[in-house]
A = this chain, B = another copy of it.
């Protein structure tokens, strides 16, 4: 042993892989690393995997999925984490078919009980709480600015928003699609507040609150409202987001949002992954139903949404 250490011997993990069939490599597929929510996700996931002695092979989905799948399979990854919100489910299916454990992050399978494991926050409940907060604080013309229509995150958030409105016997005042992109979101907002003639619309024709499908867009929307349209946030328009990205807490924004419990989510991802790895070696044939973990986030009240009164009535 001493000699081996002195000679600088390191076991070759690829050789080990050949005989054990385990690579200890997890493939992680991201769609947009430019979304402010994912850097921290990636950092935490990497740290946790490292701590477990596993490695993270990073892929960015850029449309050419075929190639990506090929790589994933050829490297015999032990498991795959799919965090690409808008990613077509073809990829997930192909991986599962190849017998590789898949965990969907912040995304749920669009086909019913497809057998995929998934981890997400209770999106609908979060959006419901945000919307109810706005209703409770006297907002009456509430708009929803959607992410991508086909993203499960957006669908749940939209549904939660609509549900809260229905409970409050209110209708949605305006609806637009931002596709989870800052520039598109800003375009939608301009359309809401500025008429075709380039003049500002009357206040009563404009939303007094905007439920934005994620923080990324919400921050961009705040910029446009304040610096381009000259509106006060939250005095004239309230904005709420979803995720609680680091930037949401910055003094310039102080965004009211719904916090996704990222560390817990990561733990769940790891649990699902390792559970599958064990089950796989135990009895490879028994295919368990996909387990959908839904975690509870938290309403994070900051300053971007107007509150009825700072001095609360004494009980």
Contact = CB atoms under 8 A, between A and B. Distances in A.
Given A14-B17, A14-B75, A57-B58, 13 more contacts: A12-B18, A14-B18, A33-B42, A33-B46, A34-B40, A39-B39, A50-B67, A58-B58, A219-B250, A224-B251, A226-B252, A228-B251, A252-B252
Contacts of A17: 14
A149 to B, nearest CB: 24
24 contacts: A10-B73, A12-B18, A12-B74, A12-B76, A13-B75, A14-B23, A14-B75, A33-B43, A34-B43, A38-B39, A42-B58, A50-B60, A50-B62, A50-B67, A55-B57, A56-B57, A57-B57, A57-B58, A220-B250, A222-B252, A223-B250, A223-B251, A223-B252, A224-B251
A98 B33 CA distance: 32
A76 B9 CA distance: 12
Interface of A: 8, 10-15, 17-18, 23, 25, 33-34, 38-40, 42-43, 46-47, 50, 55-60, 62, 67-68, 70-71, 73-76, 98, 219-220, 222-224, 226-228, 246-247, 250-253
A59 B45 CA distance: 10
> DSSP majority for the A interface?
helix
Ordered nearest first, which 6 A-B pairs have the shortest CB separation? A223-B251, A227-B251, A33-B43, A14-B14, A252-B252, A14-B17
